[in-house]
Amino acid sequence: MKKIVYLLIILLIYFFVYIPSLKPVGEKKIGDLRIVSYNLKYGSSNYDEWKIRKDIIAKQVLKYDPDSIGVQEADSIWMNEEDGLPKIFKGYSYVGVGRDDGDKKGEYAAIFYKTDKYKIKDSGTFWISETPDKPSIGWDAVCNRICTWVTLEDVKTGEIYTHFNLHLDHKGDVARVEGVRLVLERLEEIKTPYILTGDFNFMEGTIAYKMMIRNKEVEDSKYLAEDTMSYGTINWFYNFNFKHLKPIDFCFVSKEKVRVKKYRVDNSYLFNGKPVSDHYPVIVDLSLKD
């Protein structure tokens, strides 16, 4: 009996410690768009570690060569002009505001985009609350939550798409459900192809997730992708096997207007033996339909 118990313990340890090889992100094909969603872990959580992590994350994101990047937990440390994202994401500019005052206070849900490829047609931010046009806490949330969006036009081809990026509340069940309802209403107003990235703080199969994909126009890119995979996106800075953990970070798309080519979660970047953020990034390659 003891041998069986020991064997089970060994197998359990192996399951958590063994890190499977994930599908590589690979090169972006000519003509495709690459979208990235990345919860960066707010810099003020550990400033000394942030100084190490930020350069690794910059190298990681720039290697992906994304067209636009939705970031979450981008606090004032991340968003400072001297050595934060505006400086280290070379070749990119951003739209977004701090969630606490609509200016620079509080975390951003910023969207970075290639400045040599795109011009902004329109952009904005709304709060996930009953009063979305001003800084506010919604329903049973514990802090302000926002959604930033930008409509981008390719200066050479004229192709246009709209990128929404949000961070839903980690505590409020009602705030997440009502937040999904609010975002779906905003998506219905958009005439262009759209992408919705973010840390949604819910998993597949939950009420909020089912609400999202029940909409006839919206689908999870993971299940539309011609080349896909499955891996958890939150890791809590533990370098464990999250193969069977469901993601909480998503890239939803307007399924009738885009063709999703590839879906990836990337766990390959580490610092001091730990993941470089407490979330893994989601990377999606797609093309716009005529």
136, 126 in Cβ contact below 8 A?
no
Average pLDDT per block of 10 residues along the chain, 290 residues long:
52 56 93 98 97 98 98 98 97 98 97 98 98 97 98 98 98 98 96 98 97 92 98 96 95 97 97 97 95
Strand order of the β-sheet with 118-127 is 118-127, 146-154, 160-167, 194-199, 249-254, 218-220
Question: Which segments of the chain are extended strands (E)?
Answer: 33-39, 68-72, 92-95, 111-114, 118-127, 146-154, 160-167, 194-199, 218-220, 249-254, 258-265, 270-271, 274-275, 282-288
The architecture in CATH of the region 34-288 reads 4-Layer Sandwich (3.60)
CA distance linking residue 38 with residue 266, whole number of Å: 10
- pLDDT for the residue numbered 17: 58
Question: Which segments of 109-256 are extended strands (E)?
Answer: 111-114, 118-127, 146-154, 160-167, 194-199, 218-220, 249-254
pLDDT single digits (tens) 70-87 = 999 999 999 999 999 999
CA distance linking residue 163 with residue 178, whole number of Å: 20
- pLDDT for the residue numbered 18: 60
For the chain, what are the domain ranges? Answer: 34-288
Rounded to two decimals, what is the model's pTM?
0.94
- pLDDT for the residue numbered 216: 83
